[in-house]
Amino acid sequence: MNAVSSIQQVTNGARYEPLVQLRNITVTLDNKPILQNVDFQLGEKQCVAITGPSGAGKSTLLRLLAGIYHGHLEGHIEHFGTDCLASPDSRIGMVPQGVADNLNPHMTVVEHLLDGLDIHFKLSRRECHKRAHDLARQVALPQVLLKRYPRHLSGGEIQRVLLALALVSDPEILLLDEPTAALDEYTRNQIYQLLAQQRRIRTIVLVTHDMDLARAVADKVVRMGSGKVLEQAPATSLSSDICSRAPDTFKEPLVSPSQQVLELRQLNLNHHGRVLFSNFKMDLLRGSLTLVYGASGSGKTTLARVLAGWDPLPEGTELHRNGKAVLLAQHATAACARHFTLRQILEEPLIVSQQPVHDSQIRHWLKQVHLPHTDQFLQRYPASLSGGELQRLLLARAMLSEPELLIADEPTSALDPALREEMVSLLLTVQRLSDCTLLIFTHDKALVHLTGQAGWQLTSSGLSENGHYVQI
């Protein structure tokens, strides 16, 4: 990757007196250990990448460094030389995973920045606006986006807005949770460059499955598993061998596409003066598997929402669905009500649509997606599950509605290679069991190999035709 190779590793005369120190930290939630006896030190202008499988405790550790935690905490935490129990500190900025739910849908980008500046500084309105525009330039956010609302931003643009917000207080430490998840290669390279610039002036900790990012910007890699720190090593020691399987590892669904399940014609949609779709057309056959690729901002999520009926059809659009369509949303955490038990999360769509709720079906689909199907598990809350477990829970919820068309929006984003393969295997399994049509929108080029299917490129008028597949 040219952008990665062009980034020069920066060696800093790091001060080894730790800015943040965790000693013998244990965090439990619902009697389940999330972190176990963790020791962690963070020195001045270090850049540390935290890696490991989903459910390893990476995001919990990152939030703890920011002074945020849920559950019961034991151990000693020290921020900037001061003994403390976890508490927020303006010298620490945090960038959560880039979902629009982290932003106020009723505020523009510049209003978010002005609000943050007002909290941290006593500035005139003119100076606030100047600093807001400076922050936008610092994260390569075009000025034209400052007046937009979150719903009008792409995933990469949202990521840069969140980074700008984290930099509002000019923090000494910057924490990032999966900063390149679900971004296309071009946008990932932009984030690489931004972080390479930031690591020259501040300490950075990032949780990531992106080994290219870890090699490009990190000094040290911390590998976690089952809530424990398993290993700490220089980033240069990372293996470039990415686990993947041959195309024939997973079998194509044993179905015979014979009936059209979806027909879309004359979709015309503009986004802030930019044409997303012009006379767009699309057809899907029953039982088929379709992979759709496209750059950030190309309209993948917008199209997924339109096809699933989440967004209204633009005037003149013709959409015919033969059966029910269900959308498996990209961000599992945002799709789950925190105050609901897992049982309530599973039952909610059935209750809303006045469908019968069968306990046997709930347990059947939990078993199919490799989750416990006990009463104790169903009484738990979503905060007790990892991101990968939540994605599987939502897959079970989707299948309870018995869809003829299952639409998955970036189903493997922020998953490590092993769980990515498991998620693909589960999607193919539920398709085979239900005989549904499966439509996947993704940036993950590995899915071509994992499914044995060629991917179609999303264009403004339709999917690329005449056999012009995405070249992997």
Closest by Cα among 395, 415, 421, 393 to 406: 395
List the structure tokens of 191: 């984030």
Distance separating alpha carbons of residues 238 and 153, to the nearest angstrom? 34
Q: What is the pLDDT of residue 252?
A: 39
Answer whether residue 250 shows pLDDT above 80: no
pTM of the complete model? 0.62
Average pLDDT over residues 1-29: 63
Angle, vertex CA 272, rays to CA 268 and CA 275, nearest 5 = 35
Q: Where are the beta strands (DSSP E) in 91-202?
A: 92-95, 173-177
Average pLDDT over residues 13-20: 65
Would you say 20 and 79 are in contact if contact means Cβ atoms under 8 Å apart?
A: yes
CA distances from 259 to 69, 238, 437, 451 (A): 50, 48, 10, 22
Please give the share of the chain, as a percent, with pLDDT higher than 90: 38
DSSP 253: P
Helices 155-166 & 185-198 angle (0-180, nearest 10): 10
- Computed on alpha carbons and rounded to an integer, the radius of gyration of the chain in Å comes to 23
Q: Which of 74-88, 144-158, 259-273, 306-320 has the highest mean pLDDT?
A: 306-320
Distance separating alpha carbons of residues 366 and 82, to the nearest angstrom? 46
Answer whether residue 343 shows pLDDT above 60: yes
Residues present in the chain in total? 472
Distance separating alpha carbons of residues 101 and 105, to the nearest angstrom? 8
The CATH code for residues 247-457 is 3.40.50.300
Hey, which residues does 285 pair with through a beta bridge? Answer: 260
Answer whether residue 471 shows pLDDT above 80: no
CA distances from 443 to 49, 193, 304 (A): 22, 19, 14
SS3 280: strand
H/E run at residue 85: none
Confidence band (pLDDT; 50, 70, 90) for 172?
Answer: very high
Q: What is the pLDDT of residue 132?
A: 94
Q: Choose the weakest-confidence range: 94-98, 228-232, 311-315, 427-431.
A: 94-98
Architecture of domain 2-237: 3-Layer(aba) Sandwich (3.40)
More confident residue, 83 or 348: 348
List the structure tokens of 252: 């194509």
Where in the sequence of the chain do the CATH 3.40.50.300 domains occur? 2-237, 247-457
H/E run at residue 82: strand 82-84
Could you tell me whether strands 32-42 and 20-29 are parallel, antiparallel, or unpaired per DSSP bridges?
A: antiparallel
